[in-house]
Amino acid sequence: MWGDLHRVPSGPRAQAAGRIADGLFRHAVSRLPVRVEFPDGRVLGDPAAPDAPVMLVHRPRDFTARVGRSGLIGFGEAYMAGDWSAPDLTAVLEVFAARAATLIPGPLQRLRGMVIPKPPGSEKNTTRNTRSNISRHYDLSNELFGLFLDDTLTYSSALFGRDETVPSWDDLVSAQHRKIDHLLDGAGVREGSRVLEIGTGWGELAIRAAARGATVRSVTLSTEQQDLACKRIAEAGYADRVQVDLLDYRRVDGRYDAVVSVEMIEAVGHQFWGTYFRTLDRVLAPGGRVAIQAITMPHDRMLATRNTYTWVHKYIFPGGFLPSVRAIEEITEHQTNLRVRQRLSMGDHYARTLRLWDERFAEHADDVAALGFDDVFRRMWHFYLCYSEAGFRSGYLDVQQIVLDRRDA
């Protein structure tokens, strides 16, 4: 499963790349509020930040060899392999995320296109590839997701109340319902509404829309999610109001009063954003509204990284890419009749959500192992959750609820 992860790069070329990576890493961390400790007692980092988060490098040669071979992919792989660790992984990753655009010296950034790997063609989200890409993440195991998600099985940012700045696990269900209800309100879902949901998840949004008296068609490409969503919808008593289809969003037909989609655009791929929004425009009935929840990144970083193959692509979300708000506005303005009418920024809420998920995942480490997921997978998943939380805490990432309607509405 892990390919060459267990083989440390070797040979003259790997050694040369490792030396370069070592120099770049030392240069980067010498200016950062982070404390990097080595087995021989050496310490790197900004000496003016004595309380900085600690990164423990256990196998320096292996660490730099992996970074030298694969850059930031190798940085994540080195964590998966146990070459380094951190008592507070999110805090360390937040330091790097906050300075992502300047970690590499400016002159070397001009060489980015020559050294950074490109996404493989097999991960481009064509109608042929998309189901496989989705399956690699969402069909891992319903039981796995159930171990760290709350009872709603909602795998997206919650929306916490004003007094829940440091939420507990018991706050999460109501915060997920608050998020869903805010999105349904934005889309105008009410008694008699015809609702299309792109990206079913495990059915909670469809259930809450049906509880309002709407009829719902939900589409997904995950067989695992479709099976469990249908079961949960039936148990909630709404099987007569909700239809869940295993279908690519590009093939949806019909007209709908409301179209909702939660953190689905991230899996579309930047080459198909126009197709995605033209589809929403095509199926939206006159007077209808679209409400999406989208993880976003700064526009300049989006442009700089849109053809980059990353650790997240390789191990978590093949084929995915995050839009900027500006990209969404420009695509909808130039390629559709849809216009952005409302936006709610809630990145800090996602950081809180991810922290609760990661704590829950750690609490259920033995149960994860009992499902057959090994130590490397558990380190990978912990890195993924902390990596994501760090992105939101640093402000590098945001998540938005965006309401759109027609230009002439």
pLDDT tens readout for residues 264-291: 999 999 999 999 999 999 999 999 999 9
Q: Count structural domains, the chain.
A: 2
Residue finishing a domain among 77, 97, 115: 115
User: Any bridge partners for residue 403, and if so which?
Assistant: 291, 342
pLDDT tens readout for residues 321-339: 999 999 999 999 999 999 9
What's residue 249's pLDDT? 96
**Residue 301 pLDDT > 80:** yes
Q: Does residue 167 lie within any of the structural domains?
A: yes
Same domain, 152 and 111: no
Q: Which pair of structure tokens corresponds to residue 45? A: 């980092």
Same domain, 16 and 66: yes
Nearest by Cα to 312 from 88, 136, 158:
136
**Residue 52 pLDDT > 80:** yes
More confident residue, 29 or 47: 29
Q: Mean pLDDT for the chain?
A: 92
Domain around 102: 12-115
Same domain, 163 and 219: yes
Per-residue confidence at 2, pLDDT binned at 50, 70, 90? Answer: confident
Average pLDDT estimate for 386-397: 97
Angle subtended by helix axes 172-187 and 347-363, to nearest 10: 140
**Residue 374 pLDDT > 90:** yes
Q: What's this model's pTM, rounded to 2 decimal places? A: 0.93
Residue finishing a domain among 66, 94, 115: 115
Same domain, 18 and 156: no
Same domain, 189 and 98: no
Q: Does residue 5 lie within any of the structural domains?
A: no
Same domain, 168 and 298: yes
Q: Does residue 323 lie within any of the structural domains?
A: yes
Q: Does residue 6 lie within any of the structural domains?
A: no
What's residue 3's pLDDT? 77
What's residue 276's pLDDT? 97
Same domain, 182 and 48: no
Q: Does residue 84 lie within any of the structural domains?
A: yes
**Residue 18 pLDDT > 70:** yes
Same domain, 98 and 44: yes
Q: Worst-scoring range by mean pLDDT, 37-51, 128-142, 170-184?
A: 128-142
pLDDT tens readout for residues 105-162: 555 555 445 456 666 665 666 766 676 777 778 878 999 999 999 999 999 999 999 9
Q: Worst-scoring range by mean pLDDT, 107-116, 173-182, 241-250, 290-299?
A: 107-116
In percent, the amount of the chain with pLDDT more than 70 equals: 92
Q: Which pair of structure tokens corresponds to residue 328? A: 């969404």
Q: Does residue 7 lie within any of the structural domains?
A: no
Same domain, 172 and 89: no
In percent, the amount of the chain with pLDDT more than 90 equals: 80
Q: Does residue 187 lie within any of the structural domains?
A: yes
Residues 6+ apart with CB under 8 A from 404: 280, 289, 290, 291, 292, 332, 338, 339, 340, 341
More confident residue, 370 or 304: 370
Residue finishing a domain among 115, 141, 164: 115
